[in-house]
Chain A
Amino acid sequence: MAAIFLAFAKIGLTSFGGGLSGWMLREFVERRRWMSEEEFLSGLALAQAFPGVNVVNLSIWLGYRLRAGRGALLGALGITLPPMLLAVVLAAVLTRLAQSQHVHLALAGVAAAAVGLSLQTGLRAARRAVQGLVPALILALTFAGIFLLRLPLLWVVAAMVPCSIFAAYLRVRGGRLR
């Protein structure tokens, strides 16, 4: 049990700059051999498809596979708590330092470079998503609603998700999605 918490905590504390699922694959499948790669990947697909923070979802899924309910709880706590404490300590120190123009500028540079991480994820998802006119349109409308029109996220998601799932249903029925 403690091993599960520590394994997740280690990933939470060492995975800088995102890409946590890659770290987890290496730790749980390749190093510890706690599960097969296929098991891991099906969990990853679920974690990404459903609401919630991917990594936390994935930890719950993996923990559940390892030790049912208690495993899920330990996985979720292990991946969130230690980095959370570290972040608060860092924030307390750095926001005081950010009064200095240099620290503030350095942080601004970090933020800009960090956007690359999510832009990359977004572009990869877009490449996978755009399999025709309708998904492309849904992607574009979602983007425009949030970024250009600055609509509340809830409205955009509530409007686009049913349309998108219905379109996927039609594609499946038409046999164009495997």
Chain B
Amino acid sequence: MNAPILADLLAVFAPLSFLTIGGGPSIVADIHRQAVDIYGWLTESEFMDLFAISRITPGPGSLLVTLVGYRVAGGLGALIASVAIFVPSSLLVYGLARLWARHREATWTRVIQAGLVPVAAGMILAASCTVLRAAEGGPWAWSVAAASTLALMYTRINPFLLLGAGALVFLAVLS
């Protein structure tokens, strides 16, 4: 197995582990930038395939990272990439969970919590738009995304149905 590539995977994803404020979606923009633009591990359309697969698979959306690792360096790559993305932040949160339990009412915990929200919101919105900019189908991708956003905000529809509907729209319109 190619050791330099494994080291690259670790170097790219371990720092991202600490940057996933507001959840997995916030780092999708940077995963795209590094994997497609900087390292050239994937083409634009390969990236979109993996992104879609990570969405139809149950579990955390950040499995995208596992899939990028798998594509780049096989099973070992998947393992290294997953460890890099999950372990560092998990250790941090484990420590914080103990600390936090003792200072739940303190002012500084509320300040940090309130301060992170606007940054998290900006990151998540930017990640969504980055994916759509890379997506095939141009305006159709934006329309499908907008429709599914509205459906999720105003109905109790099962998200999995929306993913299927997205696939059907694309097949009907673009093939």
Query: Could you list which residues of chain A lie within 8 angstroms of chain B, going by C-beta atoms?
Result: 12-20, 42-43, 45-57, 60-61, 64, 69, 72, 76, 79-80, 82-84, 86-88, 90-92, 94-95, 98, 101-102, 104-126, 128-130, 135-136, 138-143, 145-147, 150, 152-154, 156-157, 160-161, 164-169, 171-172, 177
Does B169 touch A at the CB level, under 8 Å? yes
A123 → chain B closest CB, angstroms: 7
Contact at A76–B89, with CB atoms within 8 Å? no
Contacts of B23 in A (CB 8 A): 48, 53-55, 121
A76 cross-chain contacts in B, Cβ below 8 A = 86, 90
Asked whether, in the complex, the Cβ of B144 is within 8 Å of the Cβ of A87, the reply is: no
The residue that A109 contacts in the complex, of B110, B132, B149, B167, with Cβ under 8 A, is B167
A112 to B97, CA, bound (A): 35
Say yes or no for B59: interface residue by CB 8 A criterion: yes
Interface residues of B (CB under 8 A from A): 15-25, 27-30, 33, 45-46, 48-63, 66-67, 70-71, 75, 78, 82, 85-86, 89-90, 92-94, 96-98, 100, 104, 107, 110-133, 135-137, 140-142, 144-149, 151-153, 158-160, 162-171, 174-175
**In the complex, A55 Cα to B82 Cα: how many Å?**
15
> Considering the chains assembled together, what is the distance between the CA atoms of A51 and B22 in angstroms?
7
Chain B nearest CB, measured from A151 CB (Å): 9
The reply to whether B19 and A112 form a contact with Cβ atoms under 8 Å apart is no
Alpha-carbon distance between A126 and B158 when the two chains are bound, in angstroms: 23
Q: Which A residues are CB-close (under 8 A) to B147?
A: 116
Q: How far is the CB of A161 from chain B (nearest CB, A)?
A: 6
- Nearest CB in chain B: distance from A146 CB, A: 4
